[in-house]
Amino acid sequence: MAKAKLRVGYVGTSIASYFATEYHQRERAITGLEALAEAWGFELVAIADEIMSVEAAEQAAERLRAAHIDFLLVQTAGCSIGEQILPLARVVPRIGLWATPEPHRDGDIKLHSFVSMSHFASILVQTLASEHIPFKWFYGHVETEEFQRPFGVTVRALAAAKNMAQARIGWFGGLAPGFINMRFDTERLRAKLGVEVVAHELSELIERAKGYDSAPVAQTAREISSAARTVRVSESAAFDRVTRLYLALRDTAREQGYDALAVSCWSEFQEAYRIAPCMAYSWMGSEDGIAVSCEGDVYGAISMYLLNLLTGAHGSSTLLDMAVIDTINPAALMWHCGVSPRHFANKDGIQWVDHVTLGRKSPNVYGVAGDQVFAANPATISYISRSGDQLLVVGADIVERENPGYAGTRGWFTNFTLNHEPTSLHDLVHTLTSGGHPHHYAVGIGNVTGELVEFASWTGVQRIAKRTYTDYLELP
């Protein structure tokens, strides 16, 4: 679906005895915010008027409320009186308080901006305590990194929250056998995050895949094949079938307006269509930028979509298992059997191969899956679970090792953080294991852990808290 733009409101408060007007505080702020809106893709609703009284603040609040903004940036352009924040704080339940430096280091104080920002913050916390109004404070002029860095995190986090609140996930074939810990409450997900999950039979995709004319299928198959370093598939007809599945996934997502898909990849696909569908999922992620979670994991699809929103990259994030831990040279091998998009690959690129586990102890061979080693990159590991109540926020570095790990799509991860704080491998594994985390992880290239923390703060999702490893059992 087309992404919704965040609508950011701006208003600058002051009183007449200070110098917000003389130092062009509002004009400077609006000009800079307009430039950021163009560069970062949000919409700005700015009040250019001098807001120097409670009445003016009330009038500005009405105009901003009518504009249906998502976030209000209240700049204390100059010294302000406490009552000015009251009507503005009730425009929208997500507020930013913004102070700027004084224009001179000595002499008469001209703006008193920082003190007034602190004054407003105290009113939100104490005077309006029963209204529980979340806010974030900013400092610095609009053109400075000091302001832009935290403001950029807010824009990305809130844009993700807005788009998540109208996301549609197509769910095909239910959960893979045995994945009972990934069951979810559809209504709870919708109430918590706004996500809509639409269930389908897997047969819908299979029948659509069978119906494509051979010419476009052959052309697409050539494109997919040519993108790989090598193709080692036992049955050439399997490549045709998986290409057809890719087209069915792509066209269904476009027609239904799905932002991500969760598709059960075994065992019905093997019984009904004689394929491993991994290549189709991988190609959707790399070429169309649409997350497809394997094994029917709806949580995985939502988590991948969230990472896609936060990174803003064309290529999708992926879904992996933590397959191996190295406790001597602390690292974890994040692996799956062939679904990761090809932009994760190192210089050797991706290969298309037979699936590495499905059918390997029987006469059957199922294609097609990817085989690749991930390039060294910063990465974010995340997962929304418990019907939207819980969020994992892990940062890491992907590193290339002499031992690349098991066949499939994989990479070694190290230098972990949890909730933006450094953590050891043992503490991370203990946190995940003793907390009963489902064994899937959404992984995206780039570090957006700050954005994830802020997303959780604005939406009220609980972050998974660290549990310190001990050699003895210690129940929380």
DSSP state of 91: S
- Output the DSSP codes for 351-394: EEEE-SSTTTTSS---EEEEEEEBPSEEEEEEEEEGGGTEEEEE
- Crossing angle (nearest 10°) for helices 236-256 and 202-210: 120
CA 327-329-332 angle, to 5 degrees, is: 65
Each residue's pLDDT, cut to its tens digit, for the chain (476 residues) gives: 679 999 999 999 999 999 999 999 999 999 999 999 999 999 999 999 999 999 999 999 999 999 999 999 999 999 999 999 999 999 999 999 999 999 999 999 999 999 999 999 999 999 999 999 999 999 999 999 999 999 999 999 999 999 999 999 999 999 999 999 999 999 999 999 999 999 999 999 999 999 999 999 999 999 999 999 999 999 999 999 999 999 999 999 999 999 999 999 999 999 999 999 999 999 999 999 999 999 999 999 999 999 999 999 999 999 999 999 999 999 999 999 999 999 999 999 999 999 999 988 888 889 999 999 999 999 999 999 999 999 999 999 999 999 999 999 999 999 999 999 999 999 999 999 999 999 999 999 999 999 999 999 999 999 999 999 999 998 87
Residue 80's closest CA among 66, 93, 99, 64? 99
Is residue 334 classed as helix, strand or coil in its secondary structure?
A: strand
Phi, psi (deg, nearest 5) at residue 261: -130, 145
Whether a cis peptide bond, with omega within 30° of 0, leads into 267 is yes
Contact (CB, 8 A) for 260 and 303:
no
CA angle centred on 254, ends 249 and 255, rounded to 5°: 100
